[in-house]
Structure 1
Amino acid sequence: MLRAEVGQYQRAISLMKQARKSPEKDMSGWNYYVDATIAFLQSDREKLKNQREKLAAVPKPEGFNPTDADGNPIEIQWPPNLNIVDKFIRCFDQPYSEVYTECTAEK
């Protein structure tokens, strides 16, 4: 993410590819998020939208009931990172560095 933040997209892509999990360990759609990020960095809108759909379809694990340190239920969006991928789509023509901070483009 830091490489992408400073515009080093090819280096960022290489590192992101290494961040993928084996499919049997990816219960939250992490790999779809990684691939969506790579698609954004490669300016591949079709692949980005395809990865977004795959991520959105990841089912919440049975018994997923996150709590804080005191045992109180906490609200966590499911699937994780879908909001970021949606922002990649809204802010598609913006640099990565602006997606997390400045971009407020509408779909």
Structure 2
Amino acid sequence: MVVAIVIALAAVVQSPAVEAPCGDEVQILNEDLDTFDQDPRKGWRSVVARTNCRAKAAELLRIYREMLQMRLDSLAWHEGQVLAELGRVTEAIAIFQQAKRRDVVLDQPQEGWNAYADATIAFLRRDRIALQQARKRLAATPIATTMERQPDGSFRPSSSASRPPNLDVVDGLIKCFDRSYAEAYGSSSCRS
């Protein structure tokens, strides 16, 4: 979830946070849903009330909605993981399917996330070929530039990513293909 928020903020914030003519976008996007949507002095309503800021308010509404959808996707994903760990494979697969994303969210391509979902589903279906194909797609995805919040509140590009996210998880699913999801996902011996 934190990565999703950071990616979302990266789409909006390109330099240290400064009070813009339409408001502090980082602060606004970090507000809880009720404040962002309903408080007349905060959130998108504070932006739309400013001169020449209607377009910015629309942009912030879109970004917040997409961030919220990513959070919901993440919650669905975690629900699917718990179900898979319990051996409730059919239910887990259905939830994992729901957690897949549109092609682009917050101006970031989602093929890596969807390849990860496809790999997990293939593992649960015991389809080694589909799992390996999904792994190839995941490995081929460009590494997204994420922004990390600095102690002073600014954002700077992260240089720590060297592989697509979750590639190690998929490698573990392949390595421990004959084990349960709980073992293949959770065992350090599967990911080494």
| TM-score, normalised with respect to structure 2 | 0.49
Q: Deviations over 1:19-38 (max 9, x none)?
A: 01011226251000000000
Highest RCO, 1 vs 2 (Cα 8 Å, sep ≥ 6): 1
Which structure shows the higher strand fraction?
A: 2
What is the distance in 2 between the residues matched to 1:38 and 1:100?
13
Task: Tell me which residue corresponds to 1:94.
Answer: 179
Residue among 133, 148, 151 paired with 1:67: 148
* Greater CA drift, 92-101 or 73-82: 73-82
Report matched runs for 1:26-105 at 5 Å: 27-28=109-110, 29-61=112-144, 64-70=145-151, 73=158, 75-102=160-187, 104=189
Shift of 1:12: 0.1
What is the distance in 2 between the residues matched to 1:77 and 1:5?
28
Q: Deviations over 1:47-76 (max 9, x none)?
A: 000000000000124xx2543432675623
Instruction: Say if 2:89 is the partner of 1:9.
Output: yes
Equivalent residues, number: 105
Q: Percent identity?
A: 37
| TM-score, normalised with respect to structure 1 | 0.84
User: Which ranges in structure 2 are unaligned for 5 or more consecutive residues?
Assistant: 1-80
What is the distance in 1 between the residues matched to 2:114 and 2:142?
14
User: Which ranges in structure 1 are unaligned for 5 or more consecutive residues?
Assistant: none
Moved over 3 A (4+): 71-74
Amino acid corresponding to residue 93 of structure 1 in structure 2: D
SS at match of 2:186: coil
Which structure shows the higher helix fraction?
A: 2
SS at match of 2:104: helix
Task: Tell me which residue corresponds to 2:75.
Answer: none
